Amino acid sequence: MHKGRTLVTGGAGFIGSHLCEQLLARGNEVLCVDNFYTGTRKNVQHLLANPRFELMRHDVCFPLYVEVDQIYNLACPASPVHYQFDPVQTTKTSVHGAINMLGLAKRVKAKILQASTSEVYGDPTVHPQPESYWGNINPIGPRSCYDEGKRCAETLFFDYRRQHNLNIKVARIFNTYGPRMHPNDGRVVSNFVMQALGNDDITIYGDGNQTRSFCYVDDLVDGLIRLMETPDDITGPINLGNPGEFTIRQLAETIIELTGSSSRLVSRPLPQDDPRQRQPDLGRANSILGWQPTTRLRDGLALVIDYFRSLQAEELPSKPLMKIVSNCA
């Protein structure tokens, strides 16, 4: 088990904060770096008293000079609402961020993991999606800043491996949910739960028959750590997600049931390039990492609902930060 100094970029974000928490529990020193564009200090507030935890405000679009022996590169807005708000900056974060973190890893001889995404598969024509599938991407659409930015980051990681023999790992993360999601980030789980708790209409884009696979954050973090701890010759990419496939309509109906909401389902037009299906092939994760998710969707949703209910007791923004544009997380 690794117990050195670990850098987590995007560490004050939803997934990053859970990763920092688990690394500390395993005895690591953790340097959490975030520019707080979508992450918040509140997500890591409970970690600040830990002497092995350090929080630094920094944008990965600029070089970082620190001493670490492993790097988890999670920095990038991940919900359509956030990454489409400033698409040029989104691409810069993926590409410049990868270059800067790879440069750091090369200088200090650190092992580095890239948090890539199932979005590299685009609107897939192969189902479920294995890592060998090259994807079906629109390179000039409204989602391209994120999809192509992450694809370019993967390219950079493998070129640094080939050119500089860098010790890299690439994880392709599928839809993930859990406590510390932003209530107004436009992701389908947070969107539906907040609408249900307010007894508001639940907005379904398209006919609601498009499918997603939802992975609880603790399961995902376990997969990331397992991948980081594999031998140097294992690079990935490796899919991390939950193979249980649900339609958007099924998700909405389950959330209405769990919240006891009086919300109704209403339809809106499907956004451009919204994928119809998304489900990971976990063959590599099973065989290489010995990993598979264990949290049932209903159990995970109950924890998210409890979290958002606790937020309602505090001051929430009265309006979403930006227009909700998609059912895709």
Catalytic residues: 146
Q: Indicate the SS3 state at residue 294.
A: coil
**In 229-313, which residue ranges form alpha helices assigned H by DSSP?**
248-259, 283-284, 297-312
- Rounded to 5 degrees, what are φ and ψ at 237? -65, 150
Q: Indicate the SS3 state at residue 171.
A: strand
Retrieve residue 199's tokens: 């007894």
Q: What is the number of residues in the chain?
A: 329
**Distance, CA of 60 to CA of 236 (rounded, Å):** 23
Residue with tokens 């890299």: 168
Helix %, strand %, coil % of the chain (to 5): 40, 20, 45
Q: Indicate the SS3 state at residue 256.
A: helix
- Rounded to 5 degrees, what are φ and ψ at 283? -55, -50
Angle, helices 14-25 vs 217-228, to 10°: value is: 60
Radius of gyration over alpha carbons of the chain, in Å?
Answer: 19
- Rounded to 5 degrees, what are φ and ψ at 256? -60, -45
